[in-house]
Amino acid sequence: MASVDSSLTLDVEQIRNDFPILKRKVNDKPLVYFDNAATSQTPQQVIDVIVDYYSRYNANIHRGVHALSQEATDAYEQARIKIQKHFNIPNAYQTLFTAGTTHGINIVASGFASILEAGDEVIVSALEHHSNIVPWQMLCEKTGAMLKVIPMLDNGTLDMQAFDALLSDKTKLVFVNHVSNALGTVNPIEEIIKKTHAVGGAVLVDGAQAAPHIKADVQALDVDFYVVSAHKMCGPTGVGMLYGKEKWLEKLPPYQGGGEMIDQVTFEKTTYAGLPHKFEAGTPNICGGIAFGAALDYMNAIGFERIAAYEHELLEYATAKLKSIEGLRIYGESSKKTAVVSFNIEGVHPYDMGTILDKLGIAVRTGHHCAQPIMDFYKIPGTVRASFAFYNTKEEIDSLVAGVERARNMLI
């Protein structure tokens, strides 16, 4: 009998009890939630924190001298420290609260508008989400910098030889996701960061899809910027984190004007507040920030190694089972993947597949996943994407496989 490393096993049944939504039915069928790459579900422990905030100490922060305001400020700043520690960020003031990944990317892109010059080059990868393409296109239009693209290979990985050829002393910025949202490919960001630094450029890594599966250490990575969203990792929507190296955060101008981000205001001149407040204008998503901290506590209590090991097991199980279905093709077959299976069945439109699966209570994502360049590469209208989390089970994957077969029989 093969020995099982008990430190890596995970009590899924107990974990599922933490997620009230997993008990509901959809179209009279038990919900099978496989759209985790779009948003993860929320455990009771995080829901309780949200309810507690609004029931007991809802107040604006950093301003009031009254007790509620101080309690809320303390909880918000403690959450910042939890996030800081989680990503091994050197200082709390380099841990900026944002409205989410897209917001974080836009803070950096708009900041670089005052740094880039015509002739500079910005490199993005072909595996990017639209949110990580559009801001750079706008930035390049504004500054006259050139946008270059690292092409992808048929197995869904980046063409690293082509990347080497794109790098030069003109390269000022490289933007790449840690994990592709459409395919689940884990990109070689360590290599990209090292090589970009060697030519004097900076790297922003979009960690939205990686954060629920991989605990990133921003210092070990030596990355210049790292952005995530709370709602992909058991937290609420509308809140995220931007990490930046201190030299960059000092250099970049504020993104928005407003309260919190100022030091002194007269009609002649305003001086900006120090970090992190320079980038946190206005009343933030206080409850969201606190709940983000609680979500990290929840996931860390289970342990990211355990989560990754279990999700990998789900990925291998689903890949093998789905591949046995006639005419099914999986897109993205990198040896390094998170628990995402993007697929199509020959002769079946992904939209039709998604519609039938929904009727069976199975939630998957269909379409281009906001990554149209990848779909253009494969010359397909989109894919069906099943993305797994640590609270999913092999039995649920069996339901998916049965559902796909049933839909296939109906549609062909």
d(CA 309, CA 169): 40
Q: Which of 9, 91, 219, 355 binds another protein (CB under 8 A)?
A: 355
List the one residue from 68, 147, 162, 411 that touches another protein (CB under 8 A).
Answer: 411
Residues 27-56 binding another protein (CB under 8 A) are 27
Q: Is 346 in the site for another protein (CB under 8 A)?
A: no
How far is CA 291 from its chain centroid? 17
Which of 179, 49, 39, 142 is closest to 100 using CA atoms? 39
Annotated active-site residue 140? The verdict is no
- 151 makes contact with another protein (CB under 8 A): no
Site for another protein in 291-330 (CB under 8 A): none
When the beta carbons of 51 and 412 are compared against another protein, the nearer one is 412
Answer for which of 212, 361, 382, 403 binds another protein (CB under 8 A) is 382
274 touches another protein by CB under 8 A: no
- Is the Cβ of residue 215 or residue 349 nearer to another protein in the bound state? 349
- Find the shortest distance in angstroms from Cβ 348 to another protein: 8
Tokens 């920030």 map to which residue? 289
Stretch that binds another protein, among 110-118, 167-175, 198-206, 353-361 (CB under 8 A): 353-361
Note whether 402 binds another protein by CB under 8 A: no
- Angle, CA 161 vertex, CA 157 and CA 166 arms, to 5°: 105
The answer to whether the beta carbons of residues 210 and 216 sit under 8 Å apart is: yes
- In the chain, the N- to C-terminal Cα span, in Å, equals 43
Q: How far is the CB of 366 from another protein (least distance, A)?
A: 7
Query: Taking CB under 8 A as the rule, does residue 366 contact another protein?
Result: yes
Helices within 113-254 (DSSP H only)? 134-143, 160-166, 189-198, 218-221, 246-251
The partner residues of 226 in beta bridges, in order of sequence, read 205, 243
Distance CA 155, CA 169 (A): 30
Contact between 381 and another protein per CB under 8 A: yes
> In angstroms, what is the minimal distance from the CB of 208 to another protein?
21
Backbone angles phi, psi at 319, to 5 degrees: -60, -50
* Distance separating alpha carbons of residues 42 and 84, to the nearest angstrom: 21
Which residues bind to another protein, rule: CB under 8 A? 27, 349-352, 355-356, 359, 366-367, 381-382, 410-411
Q: What residues are labeled active site?
A: 370
